[in-house]
């Protein structure tokens, strides 16, 4: 029989997360930090500018390809529509 107003206490869960040292991940984090902060390398700014230019060029090429692809799809649909109107 259960009495109203009384709750049984649930046991606390054990939550232990072991921590291990990984030298590779530590080096990766250090290199990532240097790359984002620029480090002491004077060429880092030049490299950043080159990367931005290449990304912009890649974006332009992708937009151009998408435009050509959309044009080809539209032409195909128009030709298909003309075929169905006149030949069927």
pLDDT for the residue 1: 52
24-28, 32-36, 72-76, 84-88: range with lowest mean pLDDT: 32-36
Residue 40 lies in a domain: no
Interatomic CA distance for residues 57 and 65, integer angstroms: 12
Task: Give the CA angle between residues 19, 25, 28 to the nearest 5°.
Answer: 150
- Supply the range of the domain harboring residue 63: 47-88
Strands, E assignment, 1-88: none
Is 35 inside a domain boundary? Answer: no
Note whether residue 76 is domain-resident: yes
Instruction: Show the tokens assigned to 67.
Output: 């435009």
Query: Confidence class of residue 74 from pLDDT cuts 50, 70 and 90?
Result: very high
Q: What is the mean pLDDT of the chain?
A: 84
d(CA 70, CA 39): 44
**Is residue 76's pLDDT more than 80?**
yes
Number of domains in the chain: 1
**What is the sign, positive or negative, of the torsion defined by CA atoms of 64, 70, 73, 78?**
negative
Residue 81 included in any domain: yes
Q: Are 38 and 44 in contact (CB under 8 A)?
A: yes
């Amino acid at each position: 029989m259960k009495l109203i107003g009384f709750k049984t206490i649930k046991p606390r869960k054990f939550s232990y997360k072991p921590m291990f040292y990984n030298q590779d991940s530590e080096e990766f984090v250090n290199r990532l930090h240097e790359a984002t902060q620029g480090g002491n390398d004077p060429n880092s700014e030049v490299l950043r500018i080159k990367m931005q230019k290449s990304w912009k060029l890649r974006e332009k090429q992708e937009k151009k390809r998408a435009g050509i692809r959309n044009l080809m799809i539209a032409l195909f649909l128009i030709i298909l529509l003309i075929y169905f109107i006149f030949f069927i």
